Amino acid sequence: MRISTSQIFQSGLSAMQGAQSKFNKTGLQLATGQRILTPADDPGGATQSVQFKAAIKATEQYQRNADYAQPKLEYEEAQLIALGNVLQRARELVVAGNNDTYNPENRKIIASEIRQLREDILGLANSEDANGEYLFAGTRSQHQPFVVGDDGRISYVGAEGPGSIREVDITSNRRVATGDTGAHVFMNIPERSGLLTEAVLRPGNSLNGVAGVELETEVADLQRSLNSAGQTFRIRFEDDGGTLMYKVLDPDGNAVKDQNGALIGGPYVANQPIEFAGRRVTLTVPTTTPPTVPADGDEILSRPITQVDIFKTLDDIATAFETPATDETTRESLSQATSMALTNLDSGLDRVNEVRTSVGLRLDALDTQAELNDERLVDLNSTLSDIQDLDYAEAISRFMLQRTVLQAAQQTYTQVSRLSLFDFL
């Protein structure tokens, strides 16, 4: 076998380059502290590293979500505590106002404080968090959720229904709501007295959607109203030979009689109240030509209100205290108004406690999950370190060995490069 000079030089050069490459790679590992510099170094380890890094990023994002939700819920809890205190004060005033020793002037003072408490609650309902977002507006957090109408009534214009509350992921399979809507906290309070009623047009009526059509209901006779509390009635309009008549029916369609045993009904007169069972229902229609009137078969439902808002409860009792109770009838009306207010204030307090409990549970879940996330991050980072981090003791030993190998290769190449016949001539 012939060994040429070029082969000797090429072999020595390859040995130096290989030793230099290994030496440089180990040096880069020492500089970065990473065992895996490219996927080729450890395909399995590289794949695991990518998976663990993704899990770490996701866990860190879950923790940021929790950090975002926690101060919002803590602030909501503080506002709910304040709301509960205000409602409790209103309840104390209602109890005091029903005292027979109080005169009309005393009750007007109480009514004035109740109206001030109403304004305080409105302020709580429109409170903003540190980011300038309205706390009880749901997903419409940039818009004030409660507005006062021209008639002085307060209405909710924030987000409602499915998706109205922001939720954040705190794990891959668990979400936490970051707040509650004002509709749930302040407006949709269960009406428990059974004495508040409403009148509505049944679906399919000819007057549905007609501008200017309004329905009002009020108590006409307190005792009879108490007797019919919780009941639903139907006011049905019928064309009787060109004359529009009305009659009052029960939910099953049976005619309702008055206290004298006579059927309740008669000719319909536009904008005039219809009285039955201690209630007074007034259908107001616009003046038009031809006149706007119910059609044959149209019906009005007179039914108990299922929900009442905190603001209406306070408005109603303040109005009752501002009305002088000078005779037996007015005193009985005041007593009944007080009873309804206390019942619905208790219902409002129950709702506040219910929401506070929910907020507390969510905060507890965030605290618990934060601890679990911290532990998970430690475990993930530890495992990732085992996979990709460099063993410095082993790497330094290898580095020293590779340096020796490189030096040996360089010295060998130097000596071999001098082997030539011309050196002996």
**pLDDT 10s digits, 254-270:** 998 888 888 899 998 88
Q: How many whole angstroms from its chain centre is CA 179? A: 4
Residue 143 φ/ψ, nearest 5 degrees: -115, 140
Domain boundaries, the chain: 54-193+312-376, 197-304
- Report the DSSP beta bridge partners of residue 239: 244
Q: How many whole angstroms from its chain centre is CA 269? A: 47
Coil/strand/helix, residue 255: strand
Coil/strand/helix, residue 79: helix
> 């507390």: which residue's tokens?
360
Tell me: pLDDT of 143 over 50: yes
Comparing C-alpha atoms, which of 313, 254, 296, 307 is closest to residue 86?
A: 313
pLDDT tier, 11 (very low <50, low <70, confident <90, very high otherwise): low
Q: What pLDDT shows up at residue 15?
A: 64
| Matching CATH number, 54-193+312-376, of 1.20.1330.10, 3.40.50.2300, 1.20.120.530, 1.10.510.10 | 1.20.1330.10
Q: Do residues 380 and 50 lie in contact, with contact meaning Cβ atoms separated by under 8 Å?
A: no
Tell me: pLDDT of 366 over 80: yes
Q: Compare 397 and 2 and report the one with higher pLDDT.
A: 397
Q: What pLDDT shows up at residue 44?
A: 63
Distances 72 to 129, 183, 187 between C-alpha atoms, Å: 7, 18, 21
**pLDDT 10s digits, 325-335:** 777 777 888 88
Question: By CB neighbour count within 10 A (0-12 exposed, 13-18 middle, 19+ buried), where does 162 fall?
Answer: exposed
Comparing C-alpha atoms, which of 124, 119, 143, 117 is closest to residue 132?
A: 143
pLDDT, average across residues 23-29: 65
Q: What pLDDT shows up at residue 398?
A: 67
Q: What pLDDT shows up at residue 423?
A: 55
> 């030096």: which residue's tokens?
407
Q: What pLDDT shows up at residue 180?
A: 92
Question: How far apart are the C-alpha atoms of 402 and 244, rounded to whole Å?
Answer: 109
Q: Do residues 174 and 182 lie in contact, with contact meaning Cβ atoms separated by under 8 Å?
A: no
Tokens at 169, concatenated: 């992921």
Question: How far apart are the C-alpha atoms of 368 and 269, rounded to whole Å?
Answer: 66
Tell me: pLDDT of 422 over 60: no
Tell me: pLDDT of 421 over 60: no
Q: What percent of the chain has pLDDT over 70?
A: 80
Tell me: pLDDT of 38 over 90: no
Question: How far apart are the C-alpha atoms of 280 and 278, rounded to whole Å?
Answer: 7
Tell me: pLDDT of 3 over 60: no
Calculate the average pLDDT of the chain.
83
Question: How far apart are the C-alpha atoms of 44 and 17, rounded to whole Å?
Answer: 28
Distances 359 to 18, 218, 292 between C-alpha atoms, Å: 65, 38, 50
Lowest-confidence pick of 277-291, 304-318, 343-357: 277-291
What is the sign, positive or negative, of the torsion defined by CA atoms of 50, 56, 59, 65?
A: negative
pLDDT tier, 114 (very low <50, low <70, confident <90, very high otherwise): very high
pTM for the full model?
A: 0.73
**pLDDT 10s digits, 180-192:** 999 999 999 998 8
Question: By CB neighbour count within 10 A (0-12 exposed, 13-18 middle, 19+ buried), where does 28 fall?
Answer: exposed
Tell me: pLDDT of 1 over 50: no
- Largest CA-CA distance found in the chain, in angstroms, rounded: 149
Question: How far apart are the C-alpha atoms of 382 and 207, rounded to whole Å?
Answer: 72
**pLDDT 10s digits, 145-154:** 999 988 888 9
Q: What pLDDT shows up at residue 56?
A: 86
Q: Do residues 94 and 317 lie in contact, with contact meaning Cβ atoms separated by under 8 Å?
A: yes
Tell me: pLDDT of 367 over 60: yes
pLDDT, average across residues 115-130: 94
Question: How far apart are the C-alpha atoms of 45 and 219, rounded to whole Å?
Answer: 79
**pLDDT 10s digits, 386-417:** 666 665 666 677 667 767 766 666 666 666 66
Q: Which helix (H) or strand (E) holds 217?
A: strand 214-219
Tell me: pLDDT of 356 over 60: yes
